[in-house]
Chain A
């Protein structure tokens, strides 16, 4: 307890009087992160062609790296030599790494999961590799991120076989113990357990209840955002935040669409990550409140407006939609420019939510936001129900 408490302190500053939304400072070894926070994903130690200076200008406070990719390239030896990923990529703020398990299962058809770990063939040299909980933590200790994830037994979200889901959920808890035992740098890095159980409330409850007994500084909710119906998705998030310790940060993995962020902040989630904002930029799509603009479309050919006239990013300050239309999917600069805007968009949304929570106007903000997207008030049931469950009625004025 003495050791682990040093690597993360979570101080709630304001709470919404209606929903479970809260604003907090998550003090990590490399940075004091304001939550709720969105964490852009920089898979291989870089973010879509942006300089780390640019990420700082965009007010990114914590970003993600992928253990599986980094463990392969540049590899553990190089990371050890340079003194971790922070130094390797020139990023002084906070970092989070995943366990590598998800990549393996989703990327590699040959992966085989046993009690010992995940066995797979290396796509680099075809050798057989076993990723155990111990190995995952060893690599993550070497990468040196402020927050590291336990290795979990990943099953596709829409998977139906109860026995397999049960096995995966229970195994995830056993692997958590092995991860915590293998952790070599508890005063500098925090392991977050991952709540599993897919769409089964009982398994999820058991998983969460088991994890809150552990000596950890925060939790993740995993196994969602994998193609399940939204009506199935939000109750699992809600179940998680209900059980998980309120005094510790809760991280919902793989969620990043504006409306999802809004609802899940209301449900009490503090941290999010998603490849979507930067991935969609690559295809010429710029995020706006109502969704996204596909700048490739001919309608933007002579549109001299910025992507979003309310946006303060360097792209919107300097470039028109018409210009971006000309260079999307032709010049790499287009990808950088739209990535800058899309990250700025995510950061601004989170900042606005934090400000509204602090000022006690969060429910009002939520209503305004959903009404802007659905001016006809024809709200999808999941948005209506989820918000109603935490005391925000978007149907009343």
Chain B
């Protein structure tokens, strides 16, 4: 895969292209952009048929091993990569150990192995084992295995271990990468860890620089350890971190930020040269019954909240679409009242329609961001979006806090499901 920068804006923001995917030769991904978050290899809530109605172009799929390791036997039997196995051939994939937005127990690391928290419990994964899976999964982009799940206020001892472990695991990944023709069809991404401790973070950056010839980019971890609370980080701290990492590493790297950050933080990262995001934000909204409707028109003041709690009684008889003028399938055909009804009756179509809208809308945000970068007005756009994000400080409601991951009906929903089948 090649990353080429087409244009840079006034700040660090830039428009780039990912091309030259060896397994999908014609594919082209314009950055900055967000991947589509997958679970079990599928874009959450969307079958390949529905996905093709939502996006006609090639998309980048975000593939955490924590929710897809169970595909291994089948992918291996088919021997054509994970995207093909999941019915999504034609799209490109980026594999990683886990989603940074998942809530998982902390710690449990061993000297040379990282815990993989799957639906069926913990599995310890060494760098070698990780690269074995990558050889089978054949993703287009591989994030190196790392100990990146530490928060900014993590103790220095824990951070020190995380940096040390990640360095040694990166070394193994690079060695495996260099000695495998199959793996070289993918691009390898280094992972920056230990952001909570400046000295240790420097060490992580220096280590990545030693492998610079074999890496196509970096992902910045070591900021979050999962729980919702660790996301309460002020944007100044993050800005400094983005600056520091950006200055230490080559400009022609692809810069990746994981985690379900809100649009304001995402655009702050874009402003500092970040290119790729993992797409967990729209999924989090969908999982909590929330629809997003940012106002992208910088010439119009916005005075309504950009998040709609679609479960709310107020939409019971609201015959408007989620967002008037939205070109998505959900908005072109369905009303807020219908979506609210589907949520209220716990029907699966609720998540499908919310996914369709939220993914489309989130994608539109990046489209507008690129437009503004191209016309040197990105700062205005970013401020316009940030203002809207500041209006929703106390949203979503408390009952949604901490809800993440999948929306598989749980045991306690069973009576409801039974009833609706009758």
Contact = CB atoms under 8 A, between A and B. Distances in A.
B422 A337 contact: no
Given A106-B422, A320-B78, A78 B348 contact: no
Contacts of A81: 317, 319
A333 B40 CA distance: 9
A103 interface: yes
A331 B407 CA distance: 8
A335 B348 contact: yes
A1 interface: no
Contacts of A315: 47
Contacts of B344: 73-74
Nearest to B119: A330
B24 interface: no
B420 interface: yes
Chain A interface extent, by class = 35 or more
Contact of B317 (A44, A78, A330, A334): A78
A333 B74 contact: no
Nearest to B342: A46
Most central of B77, B334, B345 by chain A CB within 10 Å: B345
Given A43-B420, A74-B344, A330-B408, 18 more contacts: A43-B421, A45-B338, A46-B342, A49-B348, A49-B349, A51-B349, A54-B49, A82-B319, A89-B338, A282-B417, A304-B74, A322-B74, A322-B85, A326-B40, A332-B45, A333-B42, A333-B44, A336-B348
B341 interface: yes
B116 to A, nearest CB: 16
B342 A301 contact: no
A47 B342 CA distance: 11
Interface in A33-64: 43-54
Given A51-B50, A304-B77, A331-B42, A323 B85 contact: yes
10 contacts: A47-B349, A53-B53, A69-B345, A78-B341, A89-B338, A323-B87, A326-B71, A330-B406, A331-B44, A333-B45
A319 B46 CA distance: 14
A275 B420 CA distance: 10
A279 interface: yes
A139 B330 CA distance: 27
A22 interface: no
Interface of A: 43-54, 66, 69, 73-74, 77-78, 81-82, 88-90, 103, 106-107, 275, 279, 282, 301-302, 304, 314-315, 318-320, 322-323, 325-327, 330-337, 340
Contact of A327 (B40, B77, B342, B351): B40
B335 interface: yes
- The interface residues of chain A, by DSSP majority, are classed as helix
A45 to B, nearest CB: 7
Interface centre among B50, B71, B78, B406 (most CB of A within 10 A): B50
B73 A82 contact: no
A302 B74 CA distance: 5
Interface residues on B, range: 35 or more
Interface string B327-352: 00100011101100110110111011
Given A49-B348, A53-B53, A77 B71 contact: no
Nearest to A301: B73
A45 B319 contact: no
A205 B74 CA distance: 56
B420 A69 contact: yes
Contacts of A88: 335, 337-338, 341
Contact of A82 (B337, B351, B408): B337
B77 A44 contact: no
A331 B71 contact: no
Contact of B47 (A89, A301, A340): A340
B329 to A, nearest CB: 7
B422 A103 contact: yes
Contact of B46 (A43, A106, A333): A333
A44 B44 CA distance: 23
Interface in B68-105: 70-71, 73-74, 77-78, 85-87
B422 A336 contact: no
B181 interface: no
B349 A50 contact: yes
A220 to B, nearest CB: 18
B330 to A, nearest CB: 9
Contacts of B86: 323
